[in-house]
Amino acid sequence: MSPETTEAAVSVRDLRVRYGEREILHGISFDVLRGETLVILGGSGSGKSTLLRTLVGLERPSSGDIWIKGKNMCAMSDAELDDTRKRMGLSFQGGALFGSMTVGENVCLPLREHTQLEESTIQIIMRLKLEQVGLAGFESYMPSQLSGGMKKRAAVARAMAMDPEILFFDEPSAGLDPIIAAGVDNLILKLQKAFRMTIVVVTHELASAFLIADRMLLINKGDILAMGTKAEMQTSTHPRVRQFLDRIAEPEVEGEMDYLQMLTGEAHDRAL
């Protein structure tokens, strides 16, 4: 029953996610192709973070399927889900390094927990991964001693420790100055070129998105608004896509009735 083709690393079909009464994702479908960098764009509250959390198994969808390697993630037992997670890496927005461990121990942790490798081998892999993200020699630092950009790099090294098939990035350039952010972009490009990794990036940084993406996906209010290559996105005439790409602010209040409703709070649900 898998709709997965040979070149799709992940196939999402009619995915719906709800928190309580509120539906965040309204049935979205797309493929992530093997070896590509897919950038998921969207404004705040668009549901892009929820989509990412669902893809890595942190949220359970209310309906729909996520096919990875011929298996449906939404119908997996906890043990199967853990096996799938070992083949994915996620670099968190704030790094999410374990504050009680050194950078090196952070990278070693998944290897120590999930593999039978000898300690000397684990140390070599750890140094290799840190070198790949440009943090060679920082293994004995505590996360609190690192700058924001270095934390992100260390988080990437930890996400890559198990040689994942898919690497996910949550807002890789959020909270970084332009130079450091460019450095993180370069790192993603390097991983893509050197290892032909499948990479999924969630961001709202347009410049960074157009630099690293093979394909893009624009999410708005829980629906896919547009999907395509960089060129296709840039030539899109869809008004919402143009608004997002050209960075046009939301008109403040659209009409008298809307204003009245806003004041009385009667159409509150609509605003969500």
Partner 1 sequence: MDFLSNIGRGAIGGLAYVGGLARLGGRAAWYTLIGPLRGKPLRLGRAVHQAMAVGVEALPILSVITFFIGLILALQGAYELRKFGALQFVASAVAISITRELGPLMTAIVVIGRSGSAFAAEIGTMKVTEEIDALTTMALNPVQFLVTPKFLAMILMMPCLTTWADMMGVFGGAVFGVTGASFTLGTYISATIDALLLRDIVSGLLKSVMFGVVITAVGCHEGFSTGAGSEQVGRSTTSAVVMSIFLVVVVDLIFTALFYALER
- Interacting span for partner 1 (CB under 8 A) from 81-89, 122-130, 226-234, 244-252: 81-89
To partner 1, the closest distance from the beta carbon of 1 in angstroms equals 26
To partner 1, the closest distance from the beta carbon of 24 in angstroms equals 16
Cα distances (angstroms) measured from residue 222 to each of 17, 39, 74, 149: 9, 16, 19, 30
Amino acid at 111: L
Question: Which of 20, 70, 99, 137 touches partner 1 (CB under 8 A)?
Answer: 99
Question: Which of 7, 58, 145, 207 touches partner 1 (CB under 8 A)?
Answer: 58
Phi, psi values for residue 169, rounded to 5°: -125, 130
Residue 124 engages partner 1 in binding (rule: CB under 8 A): no
* Residue number, 106 or 220, with CB nearest to partner 1: 106
Residue 110 engages partner 1 in binding (rule: CB under 8 A): yes
* Residue number, 56 or 74, with CB nearest to partner 1: 56
Cα separation of 216 and 224, whole Å?
11
Cα separation of 118 and 132, whole Å?
21
Cα separation of 10 and 71, whole Å?
10
Residue 56 engages partner 1 in binding (rule: CB under 8 A): yes
To partner 1, the closest distance from the beta carbon of 170 in angstroms equals 9
Asked whether the beta carbons of 109 and 101 are under 8 A apart, the reply is: yes
Question: Each residue of 143-162: b (16+ CB within 10 Å) or e?
Answer: beebebbbbbbbbbbbbbbb
To partner 1, the closest distance from the beta carbon of 27 in angstroms equals 25
* Residue number, 57 or 61, with CB nearest to partner 1: 57
Number of residues that bind partner 1 (CB under 8 A): 22
* Of 136, 128, 134, the residue nearest 108 (C-alpha): 128
Q: Which residues pair with 28 in a beta bridge?
A: 15
Residue 93 engages partner 1 in binding (rule: CB under 8 A): yes
Q: Contact positions toward partner 1, by CB under 8 A?
A: 53, 56-58, 82-83, 85-86, 88, 90, 92-94, 96-99, 109-110, 113-114, 158
